[in-house]
């Protein structure tokens, strides 16, 4: 079905109801799997909490240990460790051991990009 000309009122609803099948089919072709959608949703849920977001933002440019993050955020080391496990499960952070100290950093550049794009959006 080709698209019919519609007139919308204040962007809420169109006066003419028409389904643009070509657009619906394109959306279906470009959709992601349920598994990917659930994973992405979990990432956004984790990042939706200000305290957790502060942890991830702190790791954008420098790796830090649990003690560093606890001091920076004023939270307990236990609370930080709990959140870091969640981040690791979602592949948002990675760790490396140096002697008895474990340092955390963002898992890859995609995580930093995600944060930077969000930050750019809210500051424009």
> What torsion, rounded to 10 degrees, do the Cα atoms 41, 47, 50, 55 define?
160
pLDDT for 70 beyond 60: yes
Three state DSSP letters for 37-61 = HHHHHHHHHHHCCHHHHHHHHHCCC
Record the pTM: 0.78
More confidently predicted of 5 and 40? 40
Domain ranges of the chain: 1-31, 44-123
Architecture per CATH, 44-123: Orthogonal Bundle (1.10)
Residue 46 has pLDDT above 60, yes or no: yes
The helix or strand, by DSSP H or E, that contains position 106, with its residue range, turns out to be: strand 101-106
- Residue 10 pLDDT grade (very low, low, confident, very high; cuts 50, 70, 90): low
Q: Compute the average pLDDT of residues 2-15.
A: 59
Query: Between these two residues, 26 and 12, which has the higher pLDDT value?
Result: 26
pLDDT at 1 over 70: no
Please tell me the predicted confidence (pLDDT) of residue 13. Answer: 72
| C-alpha to C-alpha distance for 97 and 63, rounded to whole angstroms | 11
Give the confidence band of 19 by pLDDT, cuts at 50, 70, 90: very high
């Amino acid at each position: 079905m080709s698209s019919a000309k519609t007139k919308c009122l204040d962007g809420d609803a169109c006066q003419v109801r028409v389904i643009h099948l070509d657009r619906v089919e394109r959306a279906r072709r470009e959709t992601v799997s349920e598994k990917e959608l659930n994973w992405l949703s979990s990432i956004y849920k984790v990042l939706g909490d200000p305290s957790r977001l502060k942890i991830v933002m702190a790791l954008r440019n420098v790796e830090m240990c649990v003690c560093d993050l606890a001091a920076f955020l004023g939270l307990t080391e236990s609370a930080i460790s709990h959140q870091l496990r969640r981040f690791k499960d979602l592949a948002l952070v990675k760790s490396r051991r140096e002697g008895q100290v474990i340092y955390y950093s963002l898992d890859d550049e995609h995580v930093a990009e995600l944060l930077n794009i969000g930050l750019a959006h809210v500051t424009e």
